[in-house]
């Protein structure tokens, strides 16, 4: 069976646009359909599939074991991947089969189904030998510390994690086995961002007993879950999104090291509008002030509300990580430096120049965000659902940020 040919159809908004074919020995080949290639008003799958002249890239190489980065980034990471792969009976490293198993509930407007309607082959779980040269430093990573699931909301406000099939319009994040009160931390940081004018989806902090079908024993790690409304699901319809690891064709394990905030800013400047640039700067400043050292490529996304035009997607994954692990650097280089202590107006001016953003917009937005943060934080920090140690850590950290 390992040498047999199997094909998955890739659907965008329910219409087939491409295939992924397993050609044996865990090698896969991606190809767009002729109809999609020849469609002059085709919906956008990814900015990463555009060449420098904005033409569709149509030639791709064969990948081994992993899928190409765009699809690899649709799959869960770390403990979440292992958990779901075990439930599906799939080797978590064999990405073609994992995508086959999970393809009905992916981020954005993509679904992936077997071309022939066949079931997963019995050898999908077979072991393979993997060689890893990943030397990435240990960091606080949400992918590594929380299980998160797509959930369906009941009429009474409770949520359930479906046992099989499609998920729902909410994402629920369970307590961490490693760090205290991560759901409370994220809820507080996201609510604080909303009060500062950022685009934050509807969020909830719910007692864990209001969530059905969670993994057994998880309640011993905390009493609450963080829930966020999916912004890629609106009125029962899928809205397409992609993260910046997909845009830059970077595998998940390289999400900390293959691009910078400046690179993200440049894409937003080219593809988005002035309000998208301002929103990016607000979030960049805010996450620096709260000490979020985990804003990697997968924590920034673009959304395609009209299927073709890009804008910055709503905010997600805002956590004060310095409350758990002391860190003097952001996940990505800003323009010249990762150091929080180098986050100055001069650094933002450099980012604006290199990313071709309007300098006045960048600096004015940064100053306004800093001023608003200090005002709101002073008034409301003790009303947020944070422990004293979290508040103290943020207070100490903020004093080290030179941007005023």
State residue 304 phi and psi, 5-degree precision.
-120, 80
Tokens 């910046």 -> residue: 244
Structure tokens at 27: 């090698």
Catalytic one of 294, 317, 327, 342: 294
Tokens 């609450």 -> residue: 224
Beta 159-160 vs 211-212: how paired, if at all? Answer: parallel
Q: CA-CA-CA-CA torsion for 64, 69, 75, 80, nearest 10 degrees?
A: 90
As separate numbers, helices (DSSP H) first and strands (DSSP E) second, the chain gives 12, 16
Report the C-alpha gap between 112 and 18 in whole angstroms: 10
What are the helix (H) ranges across 74-215?
A: 78-88, 95-102, 142-145, 182-195
Report the C-alpha gap between 195 and 204 in whole angstroms: 15
- Give SS3 for 358: coil
Report the C-alpha gap between 250 and 326 in whole angstroms: 27
Is 327 labeled as catalytic in the residue annotation? Answer: no
Report the C-alpha gap between 395 and 69 in whole angstroms: 38
Active site residues: 294
């Amino acid at each position: 069976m390992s040498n047999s040919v199997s094909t998955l159809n890739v659907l965008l908004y329910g219409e087939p646009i491409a295939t992924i074919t397993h050609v044996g020995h865990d090698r896969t080949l991606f190809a767009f359909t002729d109809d999609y290639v020849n469609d002059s008003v085709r919906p956008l799958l990814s900015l990463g599939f555009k060449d420098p002249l904005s033409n569709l890239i149509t030639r791709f190489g064969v990948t081994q074991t992993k899928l190409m980065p765009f699809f690899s980034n649709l799959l869960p990471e770390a403990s979440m991947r292992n958990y779901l792969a075990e439930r599906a009976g799939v080797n978590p490293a064999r990405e073609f089969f994992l995508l086959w198993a999970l393809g009905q509930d992916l981020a954005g407007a993509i679904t992936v189904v077997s071309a022939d309607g066949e079931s997963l082959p019995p050898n999908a779980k077979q072991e393979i030998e993997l060689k890893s040269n990943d030397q990435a430093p240990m960091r606080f990573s949400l992918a590594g510390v929380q299980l998160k699931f797509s959930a369906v909301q009941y009429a009474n406000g409770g949520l359930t994690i479906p046992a099989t099939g499609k998920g729902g319009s909410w994402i629920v994040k369970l307590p961490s086995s490693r760090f205290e009160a991560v759901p409370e931390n994220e809820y507080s940081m996201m609510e604080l961002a909303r009060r500062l004018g950022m685009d934050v989806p509807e969020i909830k902090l719910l007692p864990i007993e209001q969530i059905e079908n969670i993994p057994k024993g998880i309640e011993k790690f905390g009493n609450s879950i963080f829930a966020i409304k999916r912004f890629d699901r609106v009125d029962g319809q899928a809205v397409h999104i992609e993260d910046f690891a997909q845009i830059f064709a970077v595998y998940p394990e390289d999400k900390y090291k293959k691009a910078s905030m400046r690179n993200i800013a440049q894409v937003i400047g080219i593809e988005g509008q002035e309000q998208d640039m301002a929103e990016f700067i607000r979030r960049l400043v805010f996450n620096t002030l709260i000490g979020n050292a985990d804003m990697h490529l997968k924590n920034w996304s673009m959304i395609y509300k009209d299927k073709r035009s890009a804008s910055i997607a709503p905010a997600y994954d805002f956590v004060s990580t310095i409350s758990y692990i002391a860190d003097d650097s952001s996940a990505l280089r800003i323009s010249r430096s990762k150091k929080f202590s180098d986050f100055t107006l001069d650094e933002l001016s450099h980012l604006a120049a290199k990313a071709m953003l309007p300098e006045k917009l960048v600096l004015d937005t940064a100053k306004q965000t800093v001023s608003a943060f200090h005002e709101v934080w002073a008034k409301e920090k003790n009303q947020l659902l944070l422990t004293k140690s979290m508040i103290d850590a943020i207070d100490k950290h903020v004093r080290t940020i030179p941007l005023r």
